[in-house]
Each structure stands twice: as C-alpha cells, then as structure tokens.
Structure 1
C-alpha cells in the first residue's frame, strides 16, 4: 500500500496554508468504525483518521475485551488487540492510503502490545508518552512507564522501509486537560519529544490544549515551537492543538463557538493540526455525524481566520522563560532523558498541579486569575523564580469548582472567558 508518512501529510497541508483536523473517534463495532473512518475521510475538510482504543485494551485486560465482544457488549473504543487482524485490515481497506493517514490513540502507560498490533496492520502513527500517558490516567509507577515507552519508541523507530516514517505524538500538552499552567504543558511536551527523538523517532508532534486565555495560549504555542526548534534538530515535527479538554459547554451554540475559537487559535498560533470536540461532548458519546459536523465546523472557522503573523514566534514571554527553565533543568539532570524525567519528578522539579499519581509531588498549585490567565498559587519545588507566584493564596475547593466550570459558563452565556 502506497503511503505518505503522517508527518509529511501534515507538513504538506501546512505548506498549502490548510489546517488538518482530526476527531477522537473509536467504536468497538468494526462496521461502525469503518463508517467513522470513511465519513471522516469524506468530510469537507483536510482530515486524518483516528482509531481510538477501548479502556480494556489501554490497561492490557484483553480477556475482558474478548468477553465483552463475545457477549455483544459495546466498548468505549476499538479493541485493536482483540479483533482478528483480518477484521481490522477490512476496516482500513480502501480508506487508509496515501491521501488519508490514520493514527491510533489509546492512553496506555505500557503500550507495547498496542504498538505491536498497529504495526502489524500497516499503521505507524500513534500518540502518548512516558509521562503524559502515565500520571493522569493510571497508578502505573513512572519508572515502569518510562521503560515501556523506551521499548515502544524503539519498536516504532525500527519499523521503516518502503518510505515509512513512523510518527509519535506527545500528549504532554494535555496534562489533566485544564488548570495546569502552560509552562508545564509546554515543558512536558518538549521533553517527551526529545525522549522520542533520542530513542530513534524521526517524526514527532508536540501537543498543547486550549486553555482559558487567548493571549496566554498564543504565548504557549510560540514557546512550544521555539523550544522544539532549539532541541529537536532536523527531525520532522509539528504542533497539534487540542480543543478545550475541560468541562464543555452544555449548549450547542456554546460548544460550537468554543470549537471555532480553537480553530482560530490553531491558525493564529501556527499549529498544524487540531483535535476537535463535538457539540454533544457534555451530554453523550459523540456519533459519527457529531464528529463530521465538528470537523467541518473547525475547517470553516480555520479557513476564515486571519493568517498568523509572519516571522518566527516571539520569545519574549513569561511562558517561554518558565518552560525553557523547566526543560533545561530536567535535561541537565542526566544524559538519558527517561532517567532525567524520573529524577525531576522525584525531586519535584516537575510537578503537575492537582495530579494524584503517587510519583507526582503534588505541591504545586494553580488558579485562574481575573484576566483568564493560569497562574501559580504555589510553585512547590519547581525551579522557577519567586516572581512566578504572582499572588500568594490558598486555593479552596470552591475556587477549584468555579475554575473548572469557567469556560463552560462563559460560552453557554454567549461570551468568552
């Protein structure tokens, strides 16, 4: 099968001034999954396809996945390790080709079984990372996730030939979805990108999730692009933006307006790909039709958005300075990036606010200021200047609940945060 590598496909669209849009879609029924891929491909947008996997596969409980399929119980994603390979090949046949790459998305801290399955099907694009697929989603020890992701990277990197360039996307810019100051999101995404590159990958993407301040988000993506340019050398890389991952608007108009804002942010910031969310997000699992609507809505908004400012991103921002400090502090701990990450979390030099994983220090705290920017309430042991804590304050449970619903309330009332 002739393929265009995932990264090259996105780069080609970017060169034409087009944003690539992508759903987060996964169904356990092969016929429905094939329909989802076909309609994503046929949407009025430049798209890539997604196989989002089920929770049993994510935690390697393949016996439970097999039992669910045998009992006719729908799963919350596609069980790539459980359906016979011929079934999965039939799902992809005539859809996955040079004009339509497909990425496997999963959430597993130990993904070797998933990488083996996707490679056997002729796929070579996936996502995750040793930190970003461990701390938010599991209680897997971070050292085990780092070891597994070393192996997974090497499995992907070794699967070349016939023009194949395997691609791996860091989920680091999406830690907990919200309430994590952008400097940490940028730092984790960049560090995972360096981890991937040093374990043999030549095509990566770095993620960032839309947050609560347009200006701060622009600064964050600029910082991500600058640090990637400084640290990833000559390998192929691009930035992928995620539509807001926190509490989503309840109203249809509010949900679509938030998605359109994400598309405009993608264009303005120079991101190359957007992971969409649907108008049904707050109410139920989105249908294929919901996803197609979201893809086309985002594509229209991106087409109408003003072009980004010419020239390189601006390095003069608080987000860039904080992220750069975090990244270089970690890289100076050890020549092996995985070992450096373990040391950084053990010392609290990386610390994800409100993350309850046992390997996370849990001392850092954040809040949303009146101007919508995410700021530090307490930096814990993070190697940041005292000035980073703009307002010494205690964050209460009431503060958290208010912050978590800020975006939802703003868009449901017809405004913005």
Structure 2
C-alpha cells in the first residue's frame, strides 16, 4: 500500500502538537468585517496553547447568496460570519498575511451543501483547511437533493486534490443535527465521508465525533471512531476531531464551562488530536473574541491535566460493531461511495433520526435512556446488529418528550450549577 503524500501545513501542525502531548483547541469563530476577523485570528494565535484559527462564513455565503452578503457589507450590517466570496480571495489573502503560517494554520468553516464558489475562493486565498461533507452539509442545512450535493462535493474534493499545497478536509459527519443521533451512526457517517474524500483524491483528512449525553458512552464512541479510521483510512493521513456538545447548550456560565470541561477531558483521554470548543454564551448570542479566547484557554488547561485512556479500560457496548455493520452494508449499495450514500438514504438504510430533509426517510428513532445514554429506540431500516430485537419497540414520542431529550444536557449541567450556587 502506497504511503500518503506529505500532508499540508494544517496537518503538520496538528501532528507536531500531538507529538508534544498537546491537544489542539479551535474556536467556531467568524465576523463580517476584515478588521474584526483579523483581530479575532490574531487573538486566537496569541493564546498560550496549541491553537488553529477559524474563519466561519456567514449564512448568506453558505447558500451562495453572495449578492446579499455584499449588500450587507456595503450597508454596514452585522453579519454572523465572514463572507469570504463577497470579500474576494485577494482581500482574504491580505487579511491572512502575517497571521497564517506553519505555527498557526487557518481553517474555513461553512455549512454549505454546494460549496464550489467558496472552495475556489478559499483555495485562492491560501487557506489551510476546510470542512463539511456531501451528507453532513446537505441533510441538516439545506433542501438541496442529496445526489446534487454528492456531485458538487465530488468536484470540490477534486479541486482540493489538485492544489500544489495540500488543503486539509474534515468530515462533519460526526455532528449530524448536533444531537439525538446514535453514536454508531455518527461514526459511520464520518468514516463514509472520509472514504468519499479519499475516493476523490484527498489523503489529508480528519474524522469527527460530537460529544453526546454520557461520558462513558462517548469514550467508547471515540475509541470506535479511531479504530475504524485506522482500518478504513489507513492509506490517508487522518486525525480525529471532537466537538464540544453541539446541541442545546447550558445557559448558566458554570454549567457551560462544566460541559466544556467534560469535552476537554474526553478529548485528552480518547486521544483526539483536535477539539472544537464552545463558549459560555452559546445559548444566547454569538461569542465575542474575548469569550472565545477564554474558552480556548480553559479547555487547553483542563486537557493538559488528563492522560490518555488505557484501551483495556474503555467500555464496550457494541458501538464499534454497529458502526462497522453500517459502513460495510452501505458500501455494497453502489459502485462508488457517492452512489452508495445516495442509494442507502433512498432505501432508508442510512437514516438520521428527526431529520426532515426530503431525501431522509426519518423512520428510525433514538432515545436517551434512564442512564443518560443515547441509544436506538427503533433503527427501522438501518442495518445495525440486534435490529430485529429493537424494531417495533419504539415508544410513543410526544412533543414534550422530544423537548426533554433535546434539553437533556442543558438541564443536567444547569441543574448542577444551581446546586453548587445554593
């Protein structure tokens, strides 16, 4: 098996930090103006930890409405991210000059199902990395047909593969809808997107998982993700990324920081190389530069106090076997990964609970059990082991029950903060 080509600057930085025993921490940060975006990047670069910069684009750019983004800039409107295409590649390149480099690479984060113009812009601007995927940035965020998104992402991957300096691509597959998606499905989707990236020429990639509702289950899930990546993506230069909980966030400062601390401990113990950090104000507004910096410093300090798990001590409830079964079955459904993904969703063999996209069957269901674990209530057509045992056991889900599950971590961590306060 041929060795992957030399990785790009983003992956070289992550590898160097990992070899030094440091977790890379990264914000989810984006501002509309060049001046504020540059100030944010400079502040993150000064954090006393291993950090990479983030340029998160605005909601107009995500849907390719660049005319509205440009109009907002002209009118001085407050955008919720950086309109890279509207600003233009040369303006973005100048903004990055003197900031981005071997010791501080920068990733563009977006949320676009059809990211062709954005990818062309970030490549021309000299960005080091981006993220997403044909499933993970189509089903949750758009009404674009899945087959169209798959075709667009194939072209975008080939665009990145054709650059002289490798551009890193991170799968967002481990974060579908942020919550209420069983860990094995999140892992399978991230590995499948990694395989899709590889199929279209990329070897510099990462796979992801989003923290859920039970620390021990999350330890098992991260172990399964890393094992499966080593098996399926052995001929790529991959690393694993953990997201601090992406669902409804605690409203209290203490609760928010307690949840962030749990994710930092999980990242360090599981061997994740990178952590996407959330701040104490996620529940109410877009964080300031200072709030992002504080969250990065806090997460890095918590992670530095942890040591990696002994693999023998990681629990095993079957997450690896479930994810492996989903991946293996999906790949039998098409002559290539893209067509297999489209057919799997058409058949309901890939199915994201509570996702309303027209190409998602939305027949399977998940639940948070009495121990706080996120499990299958009914996998429907998803080919997980024990599917027959689970099928038909779906409990009647009320609107109140769904809201209770969605707010599970918010209530749990805010209640713990209230107890400490009292």
TM-score range, shorter chain: over 0.9
Pairing 1:332-343 to 2, within 5 Å after superposition:
332-343=332-343
Inter-partner Cα distance in structure 1 for 2:357 and 2:372: 27
My pick for the range that moved more, 127-136 or 277-286, is 277-286
Contact 2:89 2:122 in 1 (8 A): no
Q: Kindly indicate whether residue 250 of structure 2 is the aligned counterpart of residue 249 of structure 1.
A: yes
The one of 62, 70, 73 equivalent to 1:69 is 73
Match of 1:320 in 2: 320
Residue 335 of structure 1 deviates from its aligned partner by: 2.8
Structure 2: state its 5+ residue gaps: 1-6
Match of 1:398 in 2: 400
Inter-partner Cα distance in structure 2 for 1:396 and 1:367: 12
The secondary structure found in structure 2 opposite 1:21 is strand
Match of 1:216 in 2: 217
Match of 1:281 in 2: 282
TM-score (norm 2): 0.94
Inter-partner Cα distance in structure 1 for 2:334 and 2:90: 44
- Pick closer, same or farther for the CA change 1:390–1:229 going to 2, 3 Å: farther
Q: After superposition, what is the alpha-carbon deviation per residue over 1:245-283, rounded to whole angstroms, capped at 9, x for unaligned?
A: 111111111101110110000011111100000001111
The secondary structure found in structure 2 opposite 1:81 is helix
Q: After superposition, what is the alpha-carbon deviation per residue over 1:12-38, rounded to whole angstroms, capped at 9, x for unaligned?
A: 111111100000000011100000000
Q: Kindly indicate whether residue 145 of structure 2 is the aligned counterpart of residue 144 of structure 1.
A: no
Contact 1:174 1:185 in 2 (8 A): yes
Residue 165 of structure 1 deviates from its aligned partner by: 2.1
Match of 1:260 in 2: 261
Match of 1:107 in 2: 111
Pairing 1:299-318 to 2, within 5 Å after superposition:
299-309=300-310, 316-318=316-318
Residue 314 of structure 1 deviates from its aligned partner by: 6.1
Inter-partner Cα distance in structure 1 for 2:89 and 2:395: 55
Inter-partner Cα distance in structure 2 for 1:191 and 1:84: 32
Match of 2:136 in 1: 132
Residue 191 of structure 1 deviates from its aligned partner by: 0.1
Q: Kindly indicate whether residue 293 of structure 2 is the aligned counterpart of residue 292 of structure 1.
A: yes
- Pick closer, same or farther for the CA change 1:390–1:248 going to 2, 3 Å: farther
Contact 2:11 2:204 in 1 (8 A): yes
Inter-partner Cα distance in structure 2 for 1:270 and 1:342: 32
The secondary structure found in structure 1 opposite 2:84 is coil
Q: After superposition, what is the alpha-carbon deviation per residue over 1:182-209, rounded to whole angstroms, capped at 9, x for unaligned?
A: 0110010000000001110011100100
Inter-partner Cα distance in structure 1 for 2:394 and 2:357: 25
- Pick closer, same or farther for the CA change 1:297–1:227 going to 2, 3 Å: same
Residue 387 of structure 1 deviates from its aligned partner by: 3.5
Match of 2:3 in 1: none
Inter-partner Cα distance in structure 1 for 2:379 and 2:415: 33
Match of 1:91 in 2: 95
Q: After superposition, what is the alpha-carbon deviation per residue over 1:384-403, rounded to whole angstroms, capped at 9, x for unaligned?
A: 22235695422221111111
Which structure 1 residue ranges, 4+ long, deviate > 2 Å from structure 2? 84-87, 313-317, 384-392
Match of 1:233 in 2: 234
Q: Kindly indicate whether residue 157 of structure 2 is the aligned counterpart of residue 156 of structure 1.
A: no
My pick for the range that moved more, 43-52 or 316-325, is 316-325
Q: CA RMSD in A?
A: 1.7
Q: Kindly indicate whether residue 172 of structure 2 is the aligned counterpart of residue 171 of structure 1.
A: yes
My pick for the range that moved more, 3-12 or 374-383, is 3-12
Inter-partner Cα distance in structure 2 for 1:69 and 1:275: 28
- Pick closer, same or farther for the CA change 1:61–1:247 going to 2, 3 Å: same
